Chain A
Amino acid sequence: MPDTITLQVARYRPESESAPTLQEYEVPLREEWAVLDGLNYVKDHLDGTLSFRWSCRMGICGSCGMTVNGDPALTCGTFLTDYAPGPVRVEPLANFPVIRDLVVEIDDFLHKLPEVKPWLVRDDDGGVDDVEFLQTPEQLDAYKQYSMCINCMLCYSACPVYGIEPDFLGPAAIALAQRYNLAPATSAHQRLDVLATDAGVWACTYVGECTRACPKGVDPAGAIQRYKLTAAARTLLPWGKR
């Protein structure tokens, strides 16, 4: 194994550049080093001007999503040795505006997320404070995987539909909606007006890249497909009342 590996890092400094460029850095190649460790080595020892987001280093916070050799990935869970002898190309997440270097703007998602009401919504006004809602292990299994989402945006970056149709609600938002639709204590039809629209589930053409990209095992493509049947039943069938 060679001692070092080359990182080709996308740089974009809007005050001085009109388009992103690639800059090469030589970083130590260590068995236990993730791409994020390589970027931190650059930041600490080679070039303090490089900008990127990171926090937990353990696949929990969802901050360090970037495009590594063309694929969206959490850089804390993507190891340099898997790309040896290199080079490793590190770019910002696709489908998002770039603020600087590897930092993208996710305001679009942050505006969409509350629209699907990602919280418990009940038909009656009793609220969830006074009552304990019991659920069986089967009921928990029905939605648990969707609750693992860490909002890392890899699925939006992987989704070709979101790339060409910015209005699309997107994989993570719909998967999170489905997490609350399937929870037994909530009313499932509260989100129909947002989800069963042209920009909601009907924009999805079931490419499935979102599910492939997800680092947490969530299946957004499956969530969207399942909700399509729910949406069709509720909007078309006379007894599928809202």
Chain B
Amino acid sequence: MAGARKPAEPAGRVSTAKPSRVEAAAWLMFSAGGMVTALLVPVLMLLFGVLFPLGVLTPPDHAGFAALLSHQLVRILLLGLCVLALLHWAHRFRYTLFDGLQLDRTRTAINVLCYAAVLAGSVWAAVVLFA
């Protein structure tokens, strides 16, 4: 049955809040991550998941890939893609937990865990790419 909520007390909000720079930064990274992932990942999936396996395009040989990946700019771009994609995931996932699973009371812990996972994933990506 709709509408069983008690009135907010006191009714309405008191405007004492400050603009949140942290949320702004988290959203901006989420937004950038979504954009970059949506642009780049389908291209990579099309190449490596469809066109190369089906033989529509001839993939470069191992030496060619190794040479491509040894270029610093390629490594930086791939690291950027990994980090931004992880930041996108973290923002979406924490709100899924807050709102979807109603875990709002553990907000701080979830934030810490999500962004710690981003840090760990980013470090891992950097190690794989640069080590």
Contact = CB atoms under 8 A, between A and B. Distances in A.
A104 B2 CA distance: 10
A108 B11 contact: yes
Interface in B9-38: 11-13, 15, 17-21, 23-25, 27-28, 31
A55 interface: no
Contacts of A110: 12
A112 interface: yes
Contacts, number: 104
A107 B23 contact: no
B32 to A, nearest CB: 10
Interface residues of A, number: 45
Interface in A80-139: 91-98, 104-105, 107-108, 110-112, 115
A193 B1 contact: no
Contacts of A232: 24-25, 27-28, 31
Contacts of A183: none
B20 A108 contact: no
B17 A197 contact: yes
A61 B84 CA distance: 46
A235 B20 contact: yes
Interface string A205-242: 10000000000000000000000110110111000000
B17 A10 contact: no
A93 B4 CA distance: 10
Interface string A186-203: 000000111011111010
Contacts of B19: 192-193, 196-197, 231, 234-235
A198 B2 contact: no
Contacts of B62: none
B28 A236 contact: yes
Query: Interface size class for chain B?
Result: 20 to 34
B57 to A, nearest CB: 36
B102 interface: yes
Given A197-B20, A202-B27, A205-B99, A94 B2 contact: yes
A110 B3 CA distance: 17
A141 interface: no
A202 B28 contact: no
A97 B6 contact: yes
Contact of B7 (A97, A112, A164): A97
Contacts of B102: 164
Interface in B80-109: 95, 99, 102, 104
A20 B1 contact: yes
A167 B13 contact: yes
A108 B99 contact: no
B7 A205 contact: no
A160 interface: yes
A219 B24 CA distance: 22
B5 interface: yes
A107 B12 contact: yes
Contacts of B5: 95-97, 166
B92 to A, nearest CB: 8
Contact of B2 (A92, A107, A228, A231): A92
Given A108-B7, A164-B104, 14 more contacts: A10-B1, A93-B3, A107-B12, A110-B12, A115-B13, A115-B15, A160-B99, A169-B13, A194-B15, A198-B23, A228-B31, A229-B31, A232-B24, A236-B28
